[in-house]
Structure 1
């Protein structure tokens, strides 16, 4: 991990394939988003893959739409996407001995077009809080659908 990343992890009592299916379906993102900013997936495939693009309706003070591109993809192991600012949201899945999954979510702005700007904002703190709210929602969703 670099200085320009924040990560949190959680253990989920569901297999990696189940968790990954939720992450790879952009229409499910509002169901587990803990930031309160993701409203709905408005365009794109029903299943993400490397290079796939998907649009999302968002709201931070005012409604807007943003386009994301999947930039990392390893089935049942890792998925990450970015938008025009090039910072990434990454999920890494590790199988546990009990048959569950350890999920690590990372907000990574080391690839951002303006990392020095982000360093001086509240985005890292806000994103850490959002991850801390997202992971329990993802856990509840994956375990209820397992």
Structure 2
């Protein structure tokens, strides 16, 4: 893990950033295609899309095949969307998975956030250790994005 992708906990959010060697529009194209989410998922729970467009937009719904011990399906809704800058989605628990992109020399700074502050089950998430688990998943997702796009030259 690089110093850059260490998770920060602020209130009921967990976030970390990294820089990849690709322009924001290329990174956004991957993030906005639910049929490719399994390629960069660091949690190991995303198995593939079962429904949804090839490119998400605000308000779109998409279904995912998941597995945490047992297989299940979940439907997400896009709740934040700024092309090439920000995309976020949530499911029934109303925790938001957000990706923010910023052009920087040599590529794009990608910040991933797990924001569970608006979830009615936030306290239960804390009791079950979700924030720490999501910190590990974020770190691994950022590593996978660096593997996909490469790291900028030092």
- Under TM normalisation by the shorter chain, which class is it? over 0.9
State the shift of 1:118 in Å: 1.5
Q: Counterpart of 2:125 in 1: which secondary structure?
A: helix
**1:115 aligns to what?**
122
Aligned residue number for residue 36 of structure 1: 44
After TM superposition, give the deviation of residue 96 of structure 1 in Å: 0.2
Q: In the alignment, does 2:63 pair up with 1:55?
A: yes
State the SS of the aligned residue for 2:11: coil
CA distance in 1, matches of 2:18, 2:10: 20
Whole-angstrom distance in 2 between the partners of 1:139 and 1:14 = 10
Query: Which residue of 111, 126, 131 maps to 2:133?
Result: 126
Does structure 1 residue 106 correspond to structure 2 residue 88? no
- Give the Cα separation in 1 of the matches to 2:10 and 2:143: 24
Cα separation, 2, equivalents of 1:24 and 1:94: 16
Gaps of 5+ in 1: none
**Match runs of 1:17-96 below 5 Å:** 17-96=25-104
Q: Counterpart of 2:148? A: 141
**How far did 1:114 drift?**
1.6
Runs of 4+ that moved beyond 6 A: none
Give unpaired runs (5+ residues) of structure 2.
1-8
Q: Distance in 1 between matches of 2:84 and 2:27?
A: 8
User: For 1:134 and 1:82, how far apart are their aligned partners in 2?
Assistant: 17
CA distance in 2, matches of 1:110, 1:25: 26
* Residues 104-129 of structure 1: per-residue CA shift (max 9 Å, x gap): 00111001122122222210000000
Please give the alpha-carbon distance, in whole angstroms, between the structure 2 residues aligned to 1:125 and 1:29.
21
TM-score for both structures, normalised by structure 1: 0.94
